[in-house]
Structure 1
Amino acid sequence: MVRDYSAFLPGSSKAQPAAAPARSALEALGWRPFFAQQIDATALTETPPVRVLSVHRGGLQVVGDGIEELIPPGPEATVGDWLLLDRALPRNSRVLERASLVKRRAPGHDRQVQLIAANIDTLFVVTSCNQDFNLARLERYLALAFDAEIEPVIVLTKTDLVTDPAPYAAEARTLSDRVAVVALDARGAAPAAALADWCRPGRTVAFVGSSGVGKSTLTNALSGNQAIATQAIREDDAKGRHTTTHRELHPVPGGCLLLDTPGMRELQLTDAAAGIAELFEDLEALAAGCRFRDCQHETEPGCAVQAALDSGGVEPARLARWRKLKAEDAFNSASLSERRGKDRAFGKMVRGVMKETSRRKR
C-alpha cells in the first residue's frame, strides 16, 4: 500500500484543518515542518521517513508510520535522527538535517567525535543532592546544550536523602539565569508533574548525567512502569553503576519521546566554543574590553577580567572553570581539525595513486 504523506508537507491544506486533528504517527514521533521542508512529496512517498530509536552493532532500530524494523549499518546516524528509508538499499537511507546535535570528544586517544543524540528539544541535566553534585560538571553539560541550541534544565534528585535540598538548588541557579532548576524525588508521580511543561506531545527530551543519579528511575517514573532496571549507589562515595547500557528513545504516556543515556564518566567538549561563550556570557563581555585581543587574562596590562577579579566582581573558581573549558575545547577542536586534515590528505593521495594506476593499465 502506498501511503499518502502529503499532510506532512509544509503548506499543505491537510496539515492544518479547521478542527484540531489527532496527532499523526509521524508527529507523535517528533516530525515537524523543519524536517518536512527538506523534502518533496515524491521523496516522502518513495522513501518514507523513519526515526532512529536506538543504534546497535547490528544496525539501526527505526520506526515510522506503519514501519518498525532493524536496518543494517550504513547511514551515519545517531539516536533521534530522521532518515528517509531507502527500501531497496537501506544502507543508502538519507539522514535529514538535524535540528540539534549533542556530541562529545570520544574517550580514548584518537580524538574522534562521538554523536550522542540528535533532534533533542530539552536536555535534562540530572545530578543528585549528594557527593555527585559538582558545578564544573554541570557547566559542561550546560555548555553542550547551549552549543546545540537545546533548552537545558537542571534536575536535582534524591531530595528525600537530605534535610534541605534548597542549598543545592540555589547553587545550581548561580550557573545561568536562563536555566530552570527542578528539585524532586525521582520515584513516584513527582517527576511527571514537575517535568510536564517540557514533556509535551511530539517533544523529545533526554536525561544526561553521571551513573547513579536517577536517570533510569526518572525514565520509569515518566513511563509509568519499571521497564528499566535500576541499581543502588555505593554509600561511601555516592557513585553509581551503569544501569542503562545504550541510548534508546522511549515513547511515554502524554506523547513525548524520552532518551535515557548511560552515565558518562568523561565529558570532553569539542567544537563547543559558542556554547561556552553563551554559558559564560558575563566573562566573555568582560574579555571584550581587554586591551589586547589575545589577552590570556592573567598578567597582561589592561585586562578587564583581572580588574573585575581584583574588585570582587568575578569569582576566582568560576574564572578558573571558564579558562579550563575554553582551553580544553580549543585543544580538542584543533586536534580534530588536524586529524580531519590528515584524513583528507591521505584520501586525496589514495585517489591519486588509484587514478595513476588506472591510467597506466590503459
Structure 2
Amino acid sequence: MDLNADFNTDFSPSSRFAASGFSTLSGLGYDAFFSSSLEEGLTPGRVVRADRGGCTVLSLEGSRQEAYRLPRGQRPCVGDWVGVGSDGVRQVLPRRTAIVRGAAAPGVSSGQVLAANVDIVYIAEPAVPEIDLGRIERLLALAWESGARPVVLITKADLAGTVLAESELDLVARAAPGADVVAVSTVAGTGLDGLRPGPGETAVVLGRSGAGKSTLVNALAGREAMATGEVRAADGRGRHTTVHRELLLLPGGGLVIDTPGLRSIALHADGAGVARTFADVADLADACRFTDCAHESEPGCAVLAAVADGALPERRLASWRKLQREAEWAASRTDARLRAERERQWKIIQRSVRGHSRP
C-alpha cells in the first residue's frame, strides 16, 4: 500500500516557527520520559499538525512535512512526540497525557485522541447567549481524565454587559470544583494575565464553535496566528473557522493547541474524570447512611438532603447521573473490546500450536 497516496501537502507555513527562538528540545516539552523510549537511529520531533497521509513535525532542524510509516491505527496526533527516520515517521512515543473523547461512530469502542502531551486544558465557554454549565462539566470530565490541569475560561465577557455578575462566576465555580475559573475578554484585554503557558508547557483550548478559541489563541500569541469568524447574533454561535488541530509556539516559550469546535463530547474512559468533576457530590455521598446508596430515594441520603436544602443544585445531580451512566457505558464498551482482542489473540495462539503439533 502506498502510504503517500493521500498525503496532504496543504500545510501551514513552517515560517511561523522560523523565529521561535527555541534552541533545545526541552523548550518544546521534550524530556527523559520521551527520550527513554526513542528507538535507535530515529530523530525526535513534535507533531504540530496531523493530516490524513502525513504530518508537520517540528525539531531542532526546523519544521518539515513527514509521511507516515505506521499502520493507520498507530498514527500520531497533534502534540505527540515521534521518532522520524529518513523516510518519515516511524514511531509514536508514549504519551504523558491525552485528551480522548468517545468515538462518534456506532459500534466503535476506541476513542479519538484530540491532543497529546498537554499540561493545561483551557475550557472556553462563551458568556453569551448564556453559560452552559452542563457543557463545562462534560469538558471538565474529559480534561481531568487526561491527566492535565483544567482551567475554565468564560470568554466574551465584554458581550455580557459591563462585567459578568459575580453570582454567574460563582455558579461556574461550583460546577468546576478544583479548577480555576477566569472571565476573559480579548476585546478589553482582561483576564489574560498569567494564562500563557510557561516555557516547555503545552496548553490546549477546547470548546464549541463560536466560543472564541481562535481569538484567545491569537491574544496569547500576540498576532493573528489563527483565522477568526463572526458570531451569529441570533444564537451567539459561530462557524468553524478552525478546521484542523494545530500546535503553535508562543512568546516566552510556551505552546498552545487550537482545535475545531466540538459538536459532540462523548466520554471514553472509566469515569475517573467524572468523579473528579463531581467531587462535591462524592463528598456528600460519603455521609449517606448506606454505602451503596444510589441517591434516588434511600433514607438517610446526604445527597438528596443537600438538594432539598439548596446546597446542591438539582441540575448538578442530574448532570452527574447522566455523565456517570455514560462513563459506565464507555467502560463496558472498552471491556468488551479488550475481551474480544484477548479472544482473538488466543485463537491465533491455538492455531499456531495446532499447526506445530501436526506430523
- TM-score, scaled relative to structure 1: 0.82
Q: 1:231 to 1:345 in 2, by over 3 A?
A: same
Find the counterpart in structure 1 of residue 313 from structure 2.
Answer: 315
In 1, distance between residues paired with 2:99 and 2:32? Answer: 21
Partner of 1:92: 90
* C-alpha displacement of 1:145: 1.6
Asked if the contact 1:146–1:278 (Cα under 8 Å) also holds between the matched residues in 2, the reply is yes
1:286 Cα deviation (Å)?
Answer: 2.2
Please give the TM-score of this superposition, normalised by the length of structure 2. 0.83
* SS in structure 2 of the partner of residue 97 of structure 1: coil
Asked if 1:56 corresponds to 2:51, the answer is yes
Moved more, 60-69 or 95-104: 60-69
Paired position in structure 1 for 2:131: 133
1:69 is paired with a residue whose SS is: strand
* 1:31-50 correspondence runs (5 A): 31-36=30-35, 38-39=36-37, 46-50=41-45
Greater mean deviation of Cα atoms: 323-332 or 175-184: 175-184
Instruction: Kindly provide the CA deviation profile for residues 189-217 of structure 1, in whole angstroms up to 9, marking residues without a partner as x.
Output: x27x7143542221111111000111111
Relative distance call for 1:301 and 1:101 in structure 2 (3 A) is same
Q: Tell me, which stretches of 5 or more residues in structure 2 are unaligned? A: 1-20
Distance 1:90 1:345, change over 3 A: farther
In 2, Cα distance between equivalents of 1:323 and 1:228 = 38
1:30 alignment counterpart: 29
The percentage of aligned residue pairs carrying the same residue is: 35
Secondary structure of the equivalent of 1:174?
helix
Structure 1 position 110, deviation (Å): 2.5
Separation of aligned partners in 1, 2:331 and 2:204: 25
Q: 1:209 aligns with which of 204, 207, 210?
A: 207
Other structure's SS at 2:131 match: coil
Alignment partner for residue 101 of structure 1, among 95, 98, 102? 98
User: Within 2, Cα distance between the matches of 1:271 and 1:123?
Assistant: 17
Shift of 1:23: 5.7
Partners of 1:187 and 1:217 within 8 A in 2: no
Match of 2:172 in 1: 172
SS at match of 1:314: coil
User: What amino acid is aligned across from residue 201 of structure 1 in structure 2?
Assistant: P
> What whole-Å deviation, never above 9, does each CA across 1:126-154 have from its counterpart, x for those lacking one?
11111252001001111222222211111
State the SS of the aligned residue for 2:248.
strand
Mapped partners of 2:346, 2:260: distance in 1 = 38
Amino acid at match of 2:129: Q
State the match for 1:72 in structure 2: 67
Moved more, 147-156 or 172-181: 172-181
Report the alpha carbon displacement of residue 337 of structure 1 after superposing the two structures with TM.
1.9
Aligned AA (1:179):
A
Structure 2 CA distance for aligned equivalents of residues 315 and 266 of structure 1? 24
- The 5 Å alignment of 1:277-356 reads 277-349=275-347, 352-353=350-351, 356=354
Q: What are the ranges of 5 or more consecutive residues in structure 1 without an aligned counterpart? A: 1-21
Which of these residues, 266, 269, 277, is aligned with residue 268 of structure 1? Answer: 266
CA drift at 1:28: 2.0
Distance 1:312 1:225, change over 3 A: closer
State the match for 1:120 in structure 2.
Answer: 118
CA contact (8 A) 1:129 1:165 kept: no
The match for 2:222 among 206, 221, 224 is 224
**Rounded Cα–Cα distance in structure 2 between residues aligned with 1:164 and 1:342:** 57
State the superposition RMSD in angstroms.
Answer: 2.6
SS, match of residue 110 in structure 1: coil
**Where does residue 7 of structure 1 map in the other structure?**
none
- Describe how 1:194-205 pairs up with structure 2 within 5 A: 194-205=192-203
Which structure 2 residues correspond to residues 143-162 of structure 1 after superposition, within 5 A?
143-162=141-160
Stretch moving more, 134-143 or 145-154: 145-154
Moved segments of 4+, more than 6 Å: 357-360
Aligned residues: 332
Q: CA deviation at 1:350?
A: 5.0
